[in-house]
Amino acid sequence: MEFSTRSGRPEALKAQCLLVFAEAGGKLGAAARALDAKHGGVIAAAIKRGDLTGKSAQVLALADGAVRIVVVGLGKVAEANETGWLKAMRAGLDAVLASAAHDLTVCLDGHPVRRRDAGWYASQIAQMALHATQRPDQMKSKREDPPKLAKISVWAESEADQARIARGLRHGQAIGEGATLARELGNLPANVCTPSYLADRAEALGKEAGLKVQVFDEKAIAKMDMGSFLSVARGSAEPPRFIVLRYQGAAKDDPPVALVGKGVTFDTGGISIKPSGEMDEMKYDMCGAASVFGTLHAVAQLKLPINVVGIIPATENMPGGKATKPGDIVTSMSGQTIEILNTDAEGRLILCDALTYAKEKVKPVLAIDIATLTGACVIALGHVASGLYSNDDKLAKELLDAGHAAWDRAWHMPLWDDYQQQLSSNFADMGNIGGRPGGSITAACFLSRFTRDMKWAHLDIAGTAWVSGKAKGATGRPVGLLTEFLISRSGGDRDAA
Ligand code: BES
Ligand code: MN
Ligand code: ZN
């Protein structure tokens, strides 16, 4: 998909398809009125007929000869918010995708959501277009025809807005393509997307994006004393991999941001096996890892002046004759011992060693881990916000702001010492579960025991990394939040307008 900005008088716009907005009551902006006049009053006629009221997410596809005009209702603009605008835009885009149009020009006529500038809309349009045109049909014997739409332009009147749009499209395309990669990896079945497959894809991404990639096999992992990580891999016939990807956009000695992604390519629960209903969705238990791939892809595309290290512990969690048993005690890379009371709380067992690796070997300015960690987080926050934990309130605020900017939102959860006692064990330094109360919080508390003396944040994406039901599929979150965070930390991309 190609994206560009457009300027000039709206009536001079040439496109196979034009998308304009209408407010409640069929109120049109100046650009829509000018286009309407040029195209024989087709929009005004639709309003007069009563076909177009401008109610939220209403879509009307009109035509004037060869030119398609898609009008999207925004409802009452005084009540407009991001969610409503995105829903309306998506409805309009779907109508365009159902047509045979190769190119589309979106006329941003005014900014219905007051807090947002033209760049935000442009970024969302780019991300949405890349999401809407991605079909998770790699494994189908007959793939659908690819969508015809290949070019999207965004028009706005003022020069200042055009500059914002150019920037928004550049960021939106990078985020969107990163999220596309994350969705692709997430949607692959676990018999394809194994730990070794992720390692191969890391090497491929390294070549494509100019990253240094290191892959540690089981022996090398054992040599690093990652007893906790290895305890999860024991039950599986698929060997684990520990993957490190390095992007260098700043001076060599500039300490990097570390992104640590949970890469459980399938989570059966192990000996504490899960019930079989919807267990297929546990192929998504590597979506944290996928978001690290996607974010590095975006960062490299934007050539951000920052160093970033991606760290991915990848393994299956399977039952088996050699599998870890409830009550087994293992020694983590940090030296702390863990009584594994539930083998289904495996994410924290692989992340704790990856975080210790980050702290000891990478020495980052800060580390963020991203994990489909707990069902409890889904109960707490549903499928809207990712759970955010941090041992540094300033970092938490930066991440919350990035999530709001990218519209890939997180919510700050408590990491108070009061919860730590739930992890105590009679036999080891800690247990790996804290009981049902505050299950997402105690998982974060477990990780906090491995990130002392390091600025650290944890994103629990169990509710946000994929959607279930008829539209089942990975979302590509939180590539938007992470990329926006890195853009803002690095002070913008090098080609910034
Ligand atoms: N991968 C799961 C978390 C999960 C479950 C994410 C369902 C999304 C949907 C994780 O490894 C897990 O099994 N966690 C357990 C922890 C419990 C045993 C303390 C959970 O949430 O039930
Ligand atoms: Mn589990
Ligand atoms: Zn898991």
- State how beta strands 263-267 and 241-248 pair: unpaired
Angstrom distance (rounded) from CA 91 to CA 59: 7
Nearest alpha-carbon partner for 332 in 309, 355, 366, 361: 355
CATH at residue 206: 3.40.630.10
Model confidence at 381: pLDDT above 50: yes
Model confidence at 332: pLDDT above 60: yes
Is 252 designated active site? Answer: no
Give me ligand 2 centre to Cα 346, in Å.
5
Query: Is the CB–ligand 1 distance for residue 268 below 6 Å?
Result: no
Q: Is residue 165 part of a domain?
A: no
The verdict on 321 and 252 lying in the same domain is yes
Q: Is residue 495 part of a domain?
A: no
Is 143 designated active site? Answer: no
Q: Is residue 146 part of a domain?
A: no
Model confidence at 216: pLDDT above 60: yes
What's the angle, vertex CA 116, arms to CA 112 and CA 122, rounded to 5? 90
Q: Is residue 440 part of a domain?
A: yes
Q: Whose CA is nearest to atom 7 of ligand 1?
A: 375
Angstrom distance (rounded) from CA 55 to CA 152: 25
pLDDT on residue 497: 40
The verdict on 115 and 25 lying in the same domain is yes
Interhelix angle 159-187/479-489, nearest 10 degrees: 130
Query: Is the CB–ligand 1 distance for residue 346 below 6 Å?
Result: yes
CATH at residue 30: 3.40.220.10
The verdict on 417 and 301 lying in the same domain is yes
Q: What percentage of the chain exceeds 90 in pLDDT? A: 95
Surrounding ion ligand 2 within 5 Å at CB are 267, 344, 346
Cα-based distances in Å from 156 to 151, 159, 241, 497: 17, 8, 48, 16
* pTM of this structure: 0.98
Give me ligand 3 centre to Cα 282, in Å.
7
The verdict on 106 and 199 lying in the same domain is no
DSSP-assigned letters across all residues of 176-199? HHHHHHHHHHHHS-TTTS-HHHHH
Q: Is residue 138 part of a domain?
A: no
The verdict on 118 and 215 lying in the same domain is no
Cα-based distances in Å from 99 to 14, 107, 126: 17, 18, 18
pLDDT per residue as tens digits for the range 176-209: 999 999 999 999 999 999 999 999 999 999 999 9
The verdict on 97 and 191 lying in the same domain is no
The verdict on 472 and 361 lying in the same domain is yes
Domain boundary pick from 93, 116, 133: 133
The verdict on 185 and 125 lying in the same domain is no
Query: Is the CB–ligand 1 distance for residue 342 below 6 Å?
Result: yes
Give 50 or 492, the one with higher predicted confidence: 50
Residue range of the domain that includes 450: 181-489
Interhelix angle 195-209/159-187, nearest 10 degrees: 150
DSSP annotation of 359: I
- Using the atom order of ligand 1, give the atom closest to the CA of residue 372: 6
The verdict on 330 and 425 lying in the same domain is yes
Number of domains in the chain: 2
| Residue 317, both tokens | 């969690």
Q: Is residue 334 part of a domain?
A: yes
- Gyration radius of the chain's alpha carbons: 24
Model confidence at 495: pLDDT above 70: no
The verdict on 129 and 190 lying in the same domain is no
Model confidence at 494: pLDDT above 80: no
The verdict on 412 and 346 lying in the same domain is yes
Give me ligand 1 centre to Cα 460, in Å.
11
Query: Is the CB–ligand 1 distance for residue 23 below 6 Å?
Result: no
Nearest alpha-carbon partner for 114 in 156, 76, 152: 76
The verdict on 124 and 186 lying in the same domain is no
pLDDT per residue as tens digits for the range 63-102: 999 999 999 999 999 888 999 999 999 999 999 999 999 9
pLDDT on residue 113: 86
Angstrom distance (rounded) from CA 408 to CA 458: 15
Q: Find all residues with CB under 8 Å of 80, minimum gap 6, and list them.
A: 74, 112, 113, 114
What's the angle, vertex CA 379, arms to CA 378 and CA 383, rounded to 5? 40
- Using the atom order of ligand 1, give the atom closest to the CA of residue 347: 11
Segment (H or E) for 429:
none
Angstrom distance (rounded) from CA 96 to CA 101: 7
pLDDT per residue as tens digits for the range 1-25: 999 999 999 999 999 999 999 999 9
Among 374, 423, 440, which residue has the most ligand 1 atoms within 8 Å of its CB, making it the best to mutate? 374
